[in-house]
């Protein structure tokens, strides 16, 4: 969400930003919001003047009554003011609401390094880590492997809950828990505070985090309640700071969310129809940083390093993929996806995402930092997937599969696996 001051003082940059994002249809909104702001300021001035006039007339009536003077004309004037004031206040409110809607519609300013492009086909590989596995045999999908091992049940989940769910069993349950605990330990080492969050948030929070209209197909709403199931704990972590003024000396706030996540989306193309890759429910360890504006770029790099360390230490072949202008969400200043290599696909799949939203969410949710001199400014927020266990398990199962159908567990997870070092029948 841009500020009206940014639109006024940096109009050319705002319009160029819209063009870079391939959203030329929004250019007319710049002129509209500037005109609406000008009208709003005029109306607001008239409202303030009329309120002052109302007070002045009220004082004059009181003074006339005290001195025994005739106050008939003053009383008649006083009776006219409320209706006139109400009409102006309604017009002021309508303009204010329209301005806010437009400002929420205009996209955040892009980082200068964001590559230009039209779609996800134009995203840019920035770095690669590790090497693809040399299996020496035809790789199986993770679905084939874990079903053959009897450590998952997709069919029972379909009977109880429908498509897009799963039952993890036996050693696969241990692996899910091991990945969570391993990521939490990494977060503690990096200075993050672990937090188990509410799994539901109000619409105000969802609206502050994303464009709800664009998210309605993926966010589950609780019937007859002003509550939504969280698609990521970022919603709860940033949401808990709504309306807060934070002492600048308490920043950066390093928050580690621990939660299941719930999403309406799921795969619909062959290999994703059944499995762990895209499901309605999964476990995730999330990183959120709330910081001062001058620190957010530094934290973007730090968060990228943390997630890279986690996946490289698991022995996986990973890469950084930067989103281009045509594939970047409106609230995002910059975004990297962390992708893992799949020998089954002979290609890459997303295992995590890192975003710097600058002050876009903070403006929507009124999250400010207070400097020692008392001045206030909006914080910057960043979020990053430490690990989504279902996708990490896909990477481990497919990359560490053995010819006999077993799967080796990465060594760094052995301390968390209660002596299990291999998934086997």
Q: Is 249 a catalytic residue?
A: no
Give strand pairing partners of 256.
Answer: 194, 287
Q: Is 158 a catalytic residue?
A: no
Residues 387 and 396: their CA atoms lie apart, in Å, by 13
Residues 425 and 421: their CA atoms lie apart, in Å, by 13
**Burial of 5: CB neighbours in 10 Å, binned 0-12, 13-18, 19+:** exposed
- Catalytic choice (20, 278, 319, 364): 278
**Burial of 137: CB neighbours in 10 Å, binned 0-12, 13-18, 19+:** exposed
Q: Who contacts 214 (Cβ-Cβ below 8 Å, separation ≥6)? A: none
Whether 400 contacts 315, CB under 8 Å: yes
Q: Is 131 a catalytic residue?
A: no
- Catalytic choice (297, 350, 377, 406): 350
Whether 124 contacts 322, CB under 8 Å: yes
Whether 91 contacts 43, CB under 8 Å: yes
Residues 113 and 28: their CA atoms lie apart, in Å, by 26
Q: Is 363 a catalytic residue?
A: no
Side-chain-facing half-sphere of 87: CA atoms under 13 Å: 4
Phi and psi at residue 64, to the nearest 5°? -65, -40
What is the gyration radius of the CA atoms in the chain, in angstroms? 27
Token pair in block for residue 359: 């002050």
For 237, the enclosing helix (H) or strand (E) is helix 234-239
Residues 328 and 17: their CA atoms lie apart, in Å, by 12
- Catalytic choice (342, 353, 355, 390): 353
Strand ranges in 7-123 using DSSP code E only, listed in sequence order? none
3-class SS of residue 245: strand
- Catalytic choice (20, 171, 259, 263): 263
Q: Is 368 a catalytic residue?
A: no
Q: Who contacts 371 (Cβ-Cβ below 8 Å, separation ≥6)? A: 248, 377
- Catalytic choice (355, 368, 391, 398): 391
Q: Which residue shows structure tokens 């909104």?
A: 29
Respond yes or no on whether the N-terminal peptide bond of residue 252 is cis (omega within 30° of 0). yes
Active site residues: 263, 278, 350, 353, 391
């Amino acid at each position: 969400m841009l500020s009206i001051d940014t639109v006024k003082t940096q109009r050319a940059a705002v319009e160029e930003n819209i063009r870079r994002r391939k959203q030329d249809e929004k250019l007319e909104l710049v002129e509209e919001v500037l005109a609406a702001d000008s009208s709003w300021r005029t109306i607001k001035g008239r409202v303030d003047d009329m309120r002052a006039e109302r007070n002045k007339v009220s004082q004059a009536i009181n003074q006339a009554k005290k001195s025994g003077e005739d106050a008939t004309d003053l009383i008649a004037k006083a009776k006219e003011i409320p209706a006139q004031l109400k009409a102006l206040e309604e017009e002021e409110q309508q303009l204010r609401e329209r301005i806010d809607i437009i400002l929420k519609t205009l996209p955040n300013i892009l980082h200068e390094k964001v590559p230009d492009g039209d779609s996800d086909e134009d995203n840019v590989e920035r770095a690669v880590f590790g090497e693809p596995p040399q299996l020496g045999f035809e790789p199986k999908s993770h679905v084939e492997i874990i079903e053959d091992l009897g450590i998952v049940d997709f069919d029972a989940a379909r009977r109880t809950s429908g498509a897009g769910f799963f039952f993890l069993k036996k050693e696969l349950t241990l692996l899910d828990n091991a990945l969570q605990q391993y990521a939490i330990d990494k977060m503690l080492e990096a200075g993050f505070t672990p937090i188990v969050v509410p799994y539901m948030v109000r619409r105000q929070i969802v609206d502050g985090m994303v464009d709800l209209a664009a998210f309605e197909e993926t966010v589950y709403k609780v019937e007859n309640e002003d509550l939504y199931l969280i698609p990521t704990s970022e919603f709860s972590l940033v949401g808990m700071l709504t309306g807060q003024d934070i002492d600048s000396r308490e920043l950066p706030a390093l928050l580690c969310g621990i939660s299941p996540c719930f999403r309406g989306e799921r795969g619909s193309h062959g290999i994703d129809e059944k499995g762990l890759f895209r499901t309605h429910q999964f476990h995730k360890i999330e990183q959120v940083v709330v910081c001062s504006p001058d620190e957010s770029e530094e934290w973007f790099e730090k968060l990228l390093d943390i997630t890279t360390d986690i996946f490289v230490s698991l022995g996986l072949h990973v890469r950084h993929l930067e989103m281009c202008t045509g594939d970047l969400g409106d609230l995002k200043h910059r975004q990297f996806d962390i992708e893992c290599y799949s020998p089954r696909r002979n290609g890459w799949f997303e295992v995590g995402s890192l975003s710097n939203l600058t002050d876009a969410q903070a403006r929507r949710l009124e999250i400010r930092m207070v400097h020692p001199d008392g001045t206030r400014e909006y914080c910057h927020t960043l979020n990053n997937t430490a690990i989504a266990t279902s996708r990490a398990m896909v990477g481990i199962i497919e990359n560490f599969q053995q010819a006999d159908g077993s799967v080796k567990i990465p060594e760094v997870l052995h301390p968390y696996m209660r002596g299990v070092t291999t998934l086997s029948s």
